[in-house]
Structures are given as C-alpha cells and as structure tokens.
C-alpha cells in the first residue's frame, strides 16, 4: 500500500492582505490539518516546525518526529546581484515576519521594509514586478528551488538568530495513531539530535508564550553528543531593544533548558518588551 498525500490550504495561506501580526499566530498554518487528524482523514500532518504554535492544540494530538535540520540562516533573495547587506543603500526589503523586520531595523536601519505575504512563487512574482528590491526569507525555504540562484546574502546567526524550529519539518499525529505506525514513522523520519534542539527551542517559546507574530528567537546546537547550547532572546518591534541570553545543559534536560533560558530573558527585561509588543499588535 502506497502512502497518499492530501494537500490543505490553511488560513495563513488564504489571507494575504493582512500581516501575520494582525491575523494572529494561533494555528493559522496548522488548524485545518489538525482538524483532519481529529476526524481521521489523515494519519499524520507535516508542518514547517517554525509555523507550529507553542503547544500542540489539545491533549489528543502530539508531535512524533522532527526531520534532520537544514541550514537555519535567513537569506536575502534578489534579481539584482549588486545588493549587499552593508552597502548602506535604502533597498526595499519584503518580509512578512515581525522578527525579521525588527532585526532589520536594528542592524540595517537604512533598509526600507514592506510587508510581503504569500508562498515563495507569489513572493518571487511580486519581486519581479518591482514591489521590492529583495526578499528576506529562510534559506531552508528556497534552496531546493530555482530562487536558490538568486540568494545574494546570508545573514549572520549572531545577528539574525532564527525563529524556533526554522530548518526542520515536524510530524504531528493523533495520540490514537496505531503504535506500529508511530514507531515506524519515528524510525524512518525522526532525527534525534534535531529533536533535542527543537525540544529546547519550543520549551523556550512556550514559556514566553510567543508565536510567529512576536519577534522572539532561539537557536539550539549540540556542542557534544550529550551537551546542548541554547541562545535566545526578544527584540522590540522598532528594533531599538534586544535582549539575548545563552545557556547550556545535558541533552536529557533540553526542555528544562528552554524554560530556564526563557526565565533569564524575562528577568532581563523581556517581560516588558513582550508586554509592549502585544499591546502594539492589538491596536
């Protein structure tokens, strides 16, 4: 029996005339797939890990696997290969991410930012039409496709720390999924080092109650077989304030590491920044 692939169009795919911050981040890319899991239409749902809300929606669903993580950097994509990050010119940059917009305002204030929604093909078409000079995207989202040749710059991780989960695919299922199927999926798909990294990052995001509409970032790496290092922080919408902290611990403590780092960011002033961000978004 061959697997059957069923495609879905989510709320986040359909509403392109509003920013993600205005739509709200709760389940905008996952709700339709999770409903199909509950109704038994599908056995598993495949998500971009960075699009997942901080907690799986309900005790009846669970994340059972994460694919091996790819390069996590953000990149600049353009048909104009003369564009560079540090030329000081007021290039118009298209992005739908509050995190990317805020970090641009902090590190590259001479760039102009325009909201750019849609799938990769739609954004590339808008770029070709001249609606912006370049697109700010995740490397993992473009390198398998033709736009890969139009990458003009990679943003350094020390500045553009990625959102939680960027570069990995998450597999979600109902808790009632046949145990044999669950075990087989994990055996075939799950990459244990990436799973440790995602567990730490998602715990960090869960503690901060963040989402894709909030400029929170975190990135975990394995510095040895059993040691995980986590960097995380938050940036104000105007890019003026950035709080960044880092910690390490045993891989067996990945989730607790995420919680501890979030607490450190909150204590360093993150609570006030997040409070102000949510108030601004709600206006």
> Does 61 fall in a domain?
yes
> Does 2 fall in a domain?
no
- Of 159, 139, 160, whose CA–CA distance to 150 is shortest? 139
Q: Which of residues 97, 127, 154 is at a domain's end? A: 154
Are both 136 and 250 inside the same structural domain? Answer: no
Is the Cβ–Cβ distance between 70 and 167 less than 8 Å?
A: yes
- Domain CATH for 150: 3.40.190.10
φ/ψ (deg, to 5) at 117: -105, 170
Are both 44 and 87 inside the same structural domain? Answer: no
Is the Cβ–Cβ distance between 266 and 210 less than 8 Å?
A: no
* Chain-centroid distance, C-alpha 210: 11
> Does 6 fall in a domain?
no
Are both 80 and 118 inside the same structural domain? Answer: yes
Are both 185 and 252 inside the same structural domain? Answer: yes
Q: What is the model's pLDDT at position 259? A: 97
> Does 85 fall in a domain?
yes
Are both 129 and 227 inside the same structural domain? Answer: no
> Does 229 fall in a domain?
yes
Are both 264 and 202 inside the same structural domain? Answer: yes
Are both 138 and 260 inside the same structural domain? Answer: no
Are both 206 and 114 inside the same structural domain? Answer: no
Q: What is the model's pLDDT at position 212? A: 64
- Domain CATH for 38: 3.30.160.40
In sequence order, the 6+-apart residues with CB closer than 8 A to the CB of 169 are 46, 47, 48, 49, 66, 67
Quote the domain boundaries for residue 33. Answer: 11-70+163-282
> Does 254 fall in a domain?
yes
Are both 185 and 66 inside the same structural domain? Answer: yes
Are both 84 and 148 inside the same structural domain? Answer: yes
Are both 59 and 170 inside the same structural domain? Answer: yes
- Catalytic residue from among 13, 17, 51, 249: 51
Q: Which of residues 118, 135, 154 is at a domain's end? A: 154
Verify whether residue 51 is a known catalytic residue. yes
In sequence order, the 6+-apart residues with CB closer than 8 A to the CB of 279 are none
Each residue's pLDDT tens digit in the chain (283 positions)? Answer: 567 888 777 554 544 444 454 445 555 568 888 889 998 899 999 999 988 877 655 689 999 999 999 999 999 999 999 999 999 999 999 999 999 999 999 999 999 999 998 888 999 999 999 999 999 999 998 987 777 889 999 999 999 999 999 999 999 999 999 999 999 999 999 999 999 999 999 999 999 987 667 899 999 999 998 999 999 999 999 999 999 999 999 999 999 999 999 999 999 999 999 999 988 877 7
Is the Cβ–Cβ distance between 69 and 197 less than 8 Å?
A: yes
d(CA 23, CA 61): 24
Q: Which of residues 154, 188, 209 is at a domain's end? A: 154
d(CA 218, CA 245): 9
Are both 41 and 94 inside the same structural domain? Answer: no
Q: What is the model's pLDDT at position 14? A: 47
Number of domains in the chain: 2
> Does 39 fall in a domain?
yes
- CA quadruple 264, 265, 266, 271: dihedral, nearest 10: 170
Cα 58 to Cα 78, 118, 172, 210, 268: the distances in Å are 41, 28, 12, 17, 32
Q: What is the model's pLDDT at position 22? A: 47
Q: What is the pTM of this model?
A: 0.88
Q: End-to-end CA distance of the chain, in Å? A: 52
> Does 278 fall in a domain?
yes
């Amino acid at each position: 029996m061959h697997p059957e692939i069923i495609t879905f169009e989510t709320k986040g795919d359909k509403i392109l005339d509003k920013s993600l911050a205005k739509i709200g981040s709760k389940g905008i890319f996952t709700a339709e797939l999770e409903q199909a899991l509950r109704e038994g239409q599908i056995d598993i749902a495949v998500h971009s890990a960075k699009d997942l809300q901080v907690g799986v929606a309900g005790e009846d669903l669970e994340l059972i696997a994460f694919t091996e993580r790819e390069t996590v950097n953000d990149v600049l994509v353009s048909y104009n290969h003369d564009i560079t990050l540090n030329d000081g010119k007021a290039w118009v940059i298209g992005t739908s991410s509050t995190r990317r917009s805020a970090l641009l305002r902090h590190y590259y204030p001479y760039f102009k930012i325009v909201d750019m929604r849609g799938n990769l093909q739609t954004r590339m078409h808008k770029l070709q039409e001249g609606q912006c000079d370049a697109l700010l995207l995740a490397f993992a989202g473009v390198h398998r496709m033709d736009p890969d040749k139009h990458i003009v710059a990679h943003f350094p991780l020390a500045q553009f720390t990625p959102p939680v989960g960027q570069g990995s695919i998450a597999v979600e299922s109902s808790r009632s999924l046949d145990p044999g199927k669950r075990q087989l999926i994990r055996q075939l798909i799950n990459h244990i080092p990436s799973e440790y990294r995602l567990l730490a990052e998602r715990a960090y995001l869960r503690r901060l109650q963040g989402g894709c509409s909030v400029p929170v970032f975190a990135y975990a790496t394995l510095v040895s077989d059993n040691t995980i290092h986590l960097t995380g922080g938050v940036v104000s919408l105007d890019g003026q304030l950035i709080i960044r902290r880092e910690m390490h611990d045993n891989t067996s403590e990945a989730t607790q590491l995420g919680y501890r780092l979030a607490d450190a960011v909150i204590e360093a002033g993150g609570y006030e920044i997040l409070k102000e961000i949510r108030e601004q978004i709600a206006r």
